[in-house]
Structure 1
Amino acid sequence: MDLDAGHMGQLLGELRRSHPRLAVATIVGGQTATASAGAPLEADFEIGSVSKAITGLLYADACDRGEVQPSTTLGEFLPLGDCPAAQLTLASMGTHSSGLPRLPHYSDMWKRSYALWRHGRNPYGEDVAELLAQARTVRLKSPRPRYSNLGFELLGHAVAAGAGLTFRALVAERLSAPLGLTSTYVPATKSELSPHALPGTNRKGRSQDPWVGEALGPAGGIRSTIGDMATLAGALLDESAPGLAALDPVANFAGPAARIGAAWMILEAKGRAVTWHNGATGGFSSWIGLDREAGTAVVLLSATAGSLDRHGFRILADLTPDR
């Protein structure tokens, strides 16, 4: 089915019960529709870990350019010395199988967690130098699938170094410029937020600080608008986006039912392969999903924390014609 104005209005009404400020994009048969509720269409959102999906595209694109290879190690492009993390391959980080923990060890972990829970503070904020210092002391675990924010931070900055760029410049030059994404960016500080940046809230409606930080960018620090994300989804479907190999599954993740490419998850849902990623920060949530065979896609962005997965999978299934 296609989402006409009536169906889109009904969908927004349903979603607004738990996500009062959100935006939706759908693509069916090459036709894109966008809508928002509680926020203007030009509003920009934190896309959280959908940033990892973008980093996966940039990594695959750098491989296509010959700047890096899957077997390239972190130590080849980042000054990590002889620490264990320096020997990790980019491929292992792209599939969350490097043995890196989800987060580095913070001496003030309790303080950060409390500040986030009690006051909505940003638990991140490190620059790249601080990230590398953390990586030099990290203890590796067994190399099995284990979701790692730390791994994608390091992957993105290593790929950028291989291109002779910062990660922010990598996003701008390799993704935003060729696809015409005018509102997709990587703020390192609050002062770098655009005038259209929405503030985020937790599920109880309490304000949350923006999650900004130079180190965070590749794993969860990108902001974008529904228009830009719809353009990206369309480019992935028509194969004009860079780094398309990131969408192709290369390993199991959490069992044979779920596969992973470079960040992108591939899940069989009702006999169809859905290629997707989600995101969450203290005050935002996001979801992007593609049925590449059917040529359909859905993007959901919300300025409220809380999973959008169930909604995203359902809407994508409704959009996709029966075989």
Structure 2
Amino acid sequence: MDSGPRGGDEELAVLLSRRLGPRHPVAAAAVVSAEGTAVAVVGAGLDADFEIGSISKGVTGLLYADALRRGEVASDTTLGELLPLGECPAAGVSLASLSTHRSGLPRLPKSAQPWRRAFALWRHGTNPYGESLDLLLEQARGVAVGKARPQYSNFGFELLGHALASAASTTYAELVERRVAGPLGLDPFYVPATVGELRPGAVDGRSHRGRARAPWTGEALGPAGGIRASIGAMARFTAALLDGSAPGTAALDPVADFRPGARIGAAWITYRLKGRPVTWHNGGTGGFRSWLGLDRATGTGVVVLSATATGVDRHGFKLLAERSGAPQEP
């Protein structure tokens, strides 16, 4: 099958094209190991940037761990100490609970009308996340806080990232540039607040049926799912996670149970598969899917990106297993 132009490592490009098939006409992969780094793109150029979706939460987790190290925040620092939330229940939520999805905050607040947004995404391909920071804070002031238990929350990570930015007296987009993208030489690796901020290499995403999907941009969204990056930038990011040069790599270490067979650090999930830990995060937006996994014991990492909203997790797990001897997804 010919998926169009290929770039980077030819062997990896051919493997990627064969494995993902025609449902993923624009995709990219990277393998980082002791033998070196290989990157490949099919259907686009090497400078193409993709929405990495909820891998952005992993970046926010790193920034949280780094802020702890810097003394800017403590694990028991609350949202109300950093954001203008008044006396609402969300003001008392701790950063530590947010970082492990145990805050009691919902996935999305009811005031955001998630069902209406989901329908608009399905029907028209629109961006369901476009809030400003002011609107996010308004939503937070009216939200109820539930029982502290493992519950994945986009809303919680949006608030966590903006609280960390406030602690550093900057914006989330600038915090990513200042502490992650800039020091690690990641380009492109950025947080567009509007469509107008997309860079020339930004590729268009599509649904699993091939329908065009609007880019997911928004000031509020950034910490939970708003970062875009090229496969080269993601390869360098992965290498920095493995060698410890990325800020806040303590975020990778699991500190709490998350779901059966899994533990969680600051956003990063670790499965102990057949006695061997694999640390990972995935992402999904209206028109993209992403996966980043690490076998830290062997110093191997894999990234798979697709500009189609069809999952790539199993491909990522399989490729990591092949390149490191790690077990595949259960």
* 2: CA distance, partners of 1:109 / 1:53: 23
> Which residue, 96, 109, 128 being the options, matches 1:91?
96
The C-alpha deviation readout for 1:65-97, integer Å capped at 9, x for no partner, is 000111110000000000010000000000000
* 1: CA distance, partners of 2:90 / 2:114: 21
The yes-or-no answer on 1:178 pairing with 2:183 is yes
| Equivalence for 1:64 | 69
| Equivalence for 2:158 | 153
Q: Secondary structure at the match of 2:96?
A: helix
| Equivalence for 1:275 | 279
* 2: CA distance, partners of 1:95 / 1:19: 32
> Which residue, 235, 249, 254 being the options, matches 1:230?
235
The yes-or-no answer on 1:309 pairing with 2:313 is yes
The C-alpha deviation readout for 1:193-241, integer Å capped at 9, x for no partner, is 0011001000000000000000000000010000000000001111111
Partner letter of residue 156 of structure 1? G
Return the offset for 1:17: 3.1
TM-score with structure 1 length normalisation?
0.96
Deviates more, 1:10-19 or 1:227-236: 10-19
Deviates more, 1:94-103 or 1:15-24: 15-24
The yes-or-no answer on 1:193 pairing with 2:198 is yes
* 1: CA distance, partners of 2:60 / 2:301: 19
| Equivalence for 1:52 | 57
| Equivalence for 2:48 | 43
* 1: CA distance, partners of 2:21 / 2:279: 25
TM-score with structure 2 length normalisation?
0.94
Partner letter of residue 316 of structure 2? G
| Equivalence for 1:297 | 301
Return the offset for 1:13: 1.7
Q: Which ranges of 4 or more aligned residues in structure 1 deviate by more than 6 Å?
A: none
Contact 1:52 1:263 in 2 (8 A): yes
Partner letter of residue 92 of structure 2? Q
Partner letter of residue 123 of structure 1? P
Partner letter of residue 150 of structure 1? F
Taking every aligned residue pair, what percent have the same amino acid on both sides?
59
The yes-or-no answer on 1:203 pairing with 2:208 is yes
| Equivalence for 1:254 | 259
Contact 1:16 1:37 in 2 (8 A): no
| Equivalence for 1:28 | 33
Contact 2:48 2:203 in 1 (8 A): yes
* 2: CA distance, partners of 1:30 / 1:85: 47
Q: Secondary structure at the match of 2:23?
A: coil
* 1: CA distance, partners of 2:35 / 2:57: 25
Partner letter of residue 279 of structure 1? G
Q: Secondary structure at the match of 2:158?
A: helix
| Equivalence for 2:122 | 117
| Equivalence for 2:3 | none
Q: Secondary structure at the match of 1:106?
A: helix
* 2: CA distance, partners of 1:269 / 1:301: 23
The yes-or-no answer on 1:81 pairing with 2:74 is no
Contact 1:48 1:222 in 2 (8 A): yes
* 1: CA distance, partners of 2:116 / 2:319: 39
Return the offset for 1:322: 7.5
The yes-or-no answer on 1:318 pairing with 2:325 is no
Contact 1:30 1:234 in 2 (8 A): no
Partner letter of residue 276 of structure 2? R
Question: Which consecutive residues of structure 1, in runs of 5 or more, have no partner in the other structure?
Answer: none
| Equivalence for 2:226 | 221
Q: Secondary structure at the match of 2:29?
A: strand
Q: Secondary structure at the match of 1:101?
A: coil
| Equivalence for 2:136 | 131
Contact 1:153 1:216 in 2 (8 A): yes
* 2: CA distance, partners of 1:311 / 1:260: 22
Give RMSD over aligned pairs.
1.6
